[in-house]
Amino acid sequence: MKIVIAAVGRLKERHWRDAADEYLKRLRPYATIDAVEVPDQDLGGDEARAVRVEAEALARVVPAGAYLVGLEIGGAARSSVAFSEWLAEHLHAGRPAMAFLVGGAAGLDPALAERCDERISFGPMTFPHQLARVVLLEQLYRAFRIMRNEPYHR
């Protein structure tokens, strides 16, 4: 199964890019993971319209038939072990792809969030969307290590 991380905005700061690149490199032996960025919109004017435009761009980069997972503060929170078990179930479900959707500064458009097959959360705290992407990559890496009983998770 192919995993796509579809995210709003570029990782502009070097530390975010370096961290994301490191986890993408670590994930190569385990899965095909594509990180796709779509342009973020200026939220200064009509925020609802900007978020809608971002959502349309996200929807265009998601592979057909992908299981859609939106990252949202109100989504299901799991421990790392539970996330690994959840991911393993989906990897063996026979779907062509799984797409994680990471919204921009204003989050995911409600209409796109409703289209998601599932929504997950890293907890009740709010994180910058750049950090959420890095945390997602780290948790994917940790999940694969847990699945294979390889050292990393404690």
**Could you give the residue ranges of the DSSP H alpha helices within 63-128?**
80-91, 110-115
Number of domains in the chain: 1
List the CATH number of the domain containing 70.
Answer: 3.40.1280.10
pLDDT higher than 90, residue 152:
no
- For residue 89, is it within any domain? yes
pLDDT higher than 80, residue 27:
yes
Residues comprising the chain, all counted:
154
DSSP state of 122: S
Distance, CA of 10 to CA of 2 (rounded, Å): 21
Q: Which residue has the tokens 């370096």?
A: 18
Residue type for position 45: G
- For residue 137, is it within any domain? yes
- For residue 152, is it within any domain? no
- For residue 46, is it within any domain? yes
Question: How much is the pLDDT for 66?
Answer: 95
- For residue 38, is it within any domain? yes
Write the pLDDT tens digit of every residue in 92-124: 998 899 999 999 888 899 999 999 999 999 999
Range of lowest pLDDT (40-44, 67-71, 107-111): 40-44
The residue segments making up the domain with residue 131 are 2-147
- Per-chain mean pLDDT for the chain: 93
Distance, CA of 140 to CA of 143 (rounded, Å): 5
Q: Which residues contact 152 (CB under 8 A, 6 or more apart)?
A: 141, 142, 145, 146
Question: How much is the pLDDT for 153?
Answer: 61
